[in-house]
């Protein structure tokens, strides 16, 4: 990053910042701001940061027990962002893939487990990185981000930000889930796709149903390892039934599976804890939808930990530009541009948003300059990722000639190594 040493104080100098949400984006923002503030003139008073997170510090497996792909290609510069945050090596050490000669990758399989395509990354995209991508459990990534948060940042667990209002002095009053109020000069909304802050300040900016429903679970093999090829690779199992199937390792003994289907209306989802009958009903449905799928898919489904079962409607929303004249609030990650799991990019974008916003806050003297520069970076990549996720939904559930054409083109791409 270019030096930001200056005797002119940036917008956030001496200000109090509240971050709504202690997930991937919120934690990354705190570290990113600390890293980049080091380039500001030391005589300038730094900002103070408080993070409010609704969950307890040790979230349950049903919220944290899945893996995600951190990438270095195109709009997915998650690997580069982890390097900037100073935690790439520690994340690789706790990742599923690590630094291996053949760490596995994203694959498209046909219904007989033949490879249609194996993802390849241009070496120029990951120049200077030990590997082009990694697969890491969400709780491991979040743990590394939490360890990197500077001691000067306060994290208050078990308390959510539920609303915000502008005060007559220009500050922001933040309503908390414990009934109390807090005040700040800048509010960062990093509270996910169901953002309470967005719901309060932008009540008409709602999520859009993307036309697919997923049932997701974690298969657990305490006495053996995850069966091949899901022990190393992750990706889509394409078939002729119109039922989507995504598979990925979490670690040596756990893997996540997702069975999905297209529908015009979202599904009424069950809430945890599930009864035995509810769990058995979901597993029965999943096995019926995947009855033509070949091993190890039935084995994975039958090895599911009941606590990890989730029914998920695929929602997303387009990004929006910030209006500096309204209130000093910035939305990052899913709170601004929610993406469904079909995007495979939520964590990458949350961390990139966090870094880019921190950079602009350290470089610019006015809030207007900050949000104009930030939106120019964040919005184009969010639009691109959402468009890609809709194409992935189409591919995942393709049948007949559409599936044949997809497979034909992708095999050619794979053969030529494009």
- CATH number at 222 reads 3.30.9.30
Give me the half-sphere count of Cα atoms (radius 13 Å) on the Cβ side of residue 54: 17
Report residue 281 CA to chain centroid gap: 29
Domain match, 214 and 160 both: no
Confidence of residue 395 (pLDDT cuts 50, 70, 90): very high
Confidence of residue 104 (pLDDT cuts 50, 70, 90): confident
Backbone φ and ψ of 194, nearest 5°: -95, 35
**Chain segment 2-31, per-residue pLDDT in tens:** 444 446 899 999 999 999 999 999 999 999
Percent of the chain with pLDDT over 70: 93
In a domain, 234, yes or no: yes
Going edge to edge, which strands form the sheet with 172-176?
161-166, 172-176, 181-184
- CATH number at 329 reads 3.50.50.60
Domain match, 239 and 370 both: no
Domain match, 363 and 232 both: no
Classify residue 177 by its DSSP letter. Answer: T
> The tokens of 182 are what?
């807090």
**Chain segment 167-194, per-residue pLDDT in tens:** 999 999 999 999 999 999 999 999 999 9
In a domain, 341, yes or no: yes
In a domain, 412, yes or no: no
Domain match, 259 and 390 both: no
**Chain segment 338-368, per-residue pLDDT in tens:** 999 999 899 999 999 999 999 999 999 999 9
Domain match, 193 and 328 both: yes
For the chain, what is the domain count? 2
**Chain segment 220-264, per-residue pLDDT in tens:** 999 899 999 999 899 999 999 999 999 999 888 999 999 999 999
Q: Which domain holds residue 73?
A: 16-101+125-207+317-395
Residue of 391, 352, 390, 379 lying closest to 208 (CA atoms):
390
Place of tokens 């709504």: 20
Domain match, 295 and 201 both: no
Residue of 40, 22, 18, 25 lying closest to 360 (CA atoms):
40
- Whether omega for the bond prior to residue 296 falls within 30 degrees of 0, making it cis, is yes
> The tokens of 418 are what?
């494009």
Domain match, 177 and 325 both: yes
Domain match, 260 and 339 both: no
Of 280, 315, 350, the domain-final residue = 315
In a domain, 374, yes or no: yes
What is the DSSP pairing of strand 244-251 with strand 254-262?
antiparallel
Domain match, 166 and 33 both: yes
Q: Write down the pLDDT at residue 101.
A: 57
**Chain segment 294-324, per-residue pLDDT in tens:** 999 999 999 999 999 999 999 999 999 999 8
């Amino acid at each position: 990053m270019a030096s930001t040493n200056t005797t002119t104080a940036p917008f956030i100098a001496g200000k109090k910042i509240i971050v709504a949400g202690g997930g991937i984006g919120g934690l990354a923002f705190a570290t990113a701001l600390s890293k980049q503030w080091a380039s500001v003139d030391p005589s300038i008073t730094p900002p103070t940061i408080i993070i409010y997170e609704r969950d307890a510090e040790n979230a349950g497996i049903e919220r944290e027990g899945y893996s995600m792909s951190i990438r270095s290609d195109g709009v997915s510069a998650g690997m580069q962002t982890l390097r900037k945050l100073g935690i790439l090596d520690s994340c690789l050490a706790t990742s599923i893939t690590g630094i291996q000669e053949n760490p596995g990758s994203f694959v498209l399989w046909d219904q007989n487990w033949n490879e249609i395509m194996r993802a390849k990354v241009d070496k120029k995209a990951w120049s200077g990185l030990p590997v082009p991508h990694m697969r890491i459990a969400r709780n491991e990534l979040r743990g590394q981000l939490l360890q990197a948060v500077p001691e000067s940042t306060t994290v208050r667990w078990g308390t959510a930000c539920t609303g915000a209002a502008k005060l007559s002095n220009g500050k922001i009053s933040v309503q908390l889930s414990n009934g109390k109020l807090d005040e700040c000069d800048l509010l960062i909304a990093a509270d996910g796709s169901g953002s309470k802050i967005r719901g309060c300040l932008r009540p008409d900016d709602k999520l859009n149903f993307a036309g697919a429903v997923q049932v997701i679970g974690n298969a657990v093999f305490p006495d053996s390892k995850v069966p091949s090829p899901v022990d190393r690779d992750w990706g889509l199992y394409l078939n002729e039934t119109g039922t989507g199937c995504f598979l990925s390792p979490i670690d040596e003994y756990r893997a996540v599976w997702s069975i999905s289907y297209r529908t015009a209306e979202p599904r009424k989802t069950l809430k945890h804890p599930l009864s035995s009958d509810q769990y058995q009903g979901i597993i029965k449905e999943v096995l019926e939808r995947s009855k033509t799928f070949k091993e190890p898919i039935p084995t994975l489904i039958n090895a599911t930990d009941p606590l990890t079962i989730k029914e998920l409607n695929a929602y997303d929303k387009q990004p929006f530009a910030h209006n500096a004249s309204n209130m000093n609030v910035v939305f990052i990650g899913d709170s601004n541009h929610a993406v469904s799991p079909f995007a495979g990019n939520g964590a990458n974008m949350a961390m990139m948003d966090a870094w880019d916003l921190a950079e602009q806050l350290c470089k610019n003297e006015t809030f207007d300059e900050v949000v104009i520069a930030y939106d120019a970076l964040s919005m184009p990549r969010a639009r691109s990722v959402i468009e890609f996720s809709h194409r992935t939904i189409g591919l995942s559930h393709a049948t007949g000639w559409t599936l044949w054409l997809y497979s034909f083109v992708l095999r050619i791409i794979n053969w030529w190594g494009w």
